[in-house]
Structure 1
Amino acid sequence: MKSFTFLFIILMITSCQFKSTQSAESPLGDTIQTATGLKYLYLKHGDGPKVVAGAKVGTYLSLMVDDSVVWDSNELPDSLFTFTADSTRLIKGFTEVMRLLRQGDEIIAVLPDSLAYGAKGAGDVIPPNATLVYDQFKVVSVDVPVSVDE
């Protein structure tokens, strides 16, 4: 079943018409590809605040590599993955996709190895040159920082 799910996601991403830019009007299910090779598609559009530098972001994620789920925060108790946008050391592709989203968005994202862990991989979990597939990527909360100038 995992093989089918992974294959379905890849087929969905590669068979849809590619858009070179993202907008709030991007149709659900249309694959968007950035200049860096990041691919993503919307499952649901949110209407909350956009992710900006310094925002505290909470997400639920499921990460697949080579047909297997390697991390799923949806199944763990108290598992909201939180971080501060642009000030936490995260892989390039994760940072790139987060800056395109807003609270309430749900997407599938495919990160090429050049935006992930590259030739080094990540320990025993992510092999070298692996493409990462976030088959569930839900932006649950975005707490935008208050400017000191206000």
Structure 2
Amino acid sequence: MKSLLLLITSTLVLASCQFKSAQSEGEKADDIILTASGLQYYYVRKGDGPKVEPGCKVGTYLSLKVEDSVVWNTNELPDSLFTFVADSTRLIKGFTEVSLLLREGDEIVAILPDSLAYGAKGAGDVIPPHATLVYDVFKVVKVEAPYAANDSVN
């Protein structure tokens, strides 16, 4: 009888631990934002600076992984800021989509399905066909106001 009681108690304790573990993982999954296009992202830190809008000059630090290997990293060197003009620079769809959801000071992790990245063609020898891209670091460090159509750019 004692062995049966011990077995039941052990089973309940293990089940309880597994439930807590699954609940913790679920909490992380609840934080992931999924857009209609299939883009997924979650915040590491939320900023309070200006929002990225079409035409803004944006400065970011990035680390891009494909199949768990880093293929591009601007995050480690202080002078390696990646800058682009939001929604007017020729970038992949997923990068444009996620950047327009952010603001200065945001740091996220973003997962881009191949349909928002390089698709069936891939990108040279670095990104294979149908690759999912993971920006494990995507920090927006600078957002400049968009230029008006009649402003001159020097």
TM-score range, shorter chain: 0.7 to 0.9
Aligned residue number for residue 74 of structure 1: 75
Aligned residue number for residue 133 of structure 1: 134
Give unmatched runs, 5+ long, in structure 2. Answer: 1-24
Per-residue CA deviation, residues 23-69 of structure 1 (Å, 9 max, x unaligned), is xxxxxxx1000000000000100000000011000000000001100
The TM-score normalised by the length of structure 2 is 0.77
Give the drift of 1:140. Answer: 0.4
* Structure with the higher helix share, 1 or 2: 2
Matched, 1:84 2:85: yes
For the aligned residue pairs, the C-alpha RMSD in angstroms reads 1.9
Aligned residue number for residue 98 of structure 2: 97
Aligned AA (1:44): R
Give the drift of 1:74. Answer: 1.2
C-alpha separation in 1, matches of 2:80 and 2:148:
29
C-alpha separation in 1, matches of 2:33 and 2:74:
24
C-alpha separation in 1, matches of 2:66 and 2:149:
42
Give unmatched runs, 5+ long, in structure 1. Answer: 1-11, 18-29
Per-residue CA deviation, residues 92-141 of structure 1 (Å, 9 max, x unaligned), is 00000000000000000000000000000000000000000000000000
Specify whether residues 71 and 58 from structure 1 end up closer, same or farther in structure 2 by C-alpha distance, changes over 3 A only: same
Whether contact under 8 Å (2:56, 2:147) holds in the other structure is no
Question: Highest CA radius of gyration, 1 or 2?
Answer: 2
C-alpha separation in 2, matches of 1:54 and 1:16:
32
User: Number of residue pairs matched?
Assistant: 126
Identity %: 72
Aligned residue number for residue 58 of structure 1: 59
Give the drift of 1:78. Answer: 1.7
Aligned residue number for residue 143 of structure 1: 144
Aligned AA (1:71): W
Aligned residue number for residue 111 of structure 1: 112
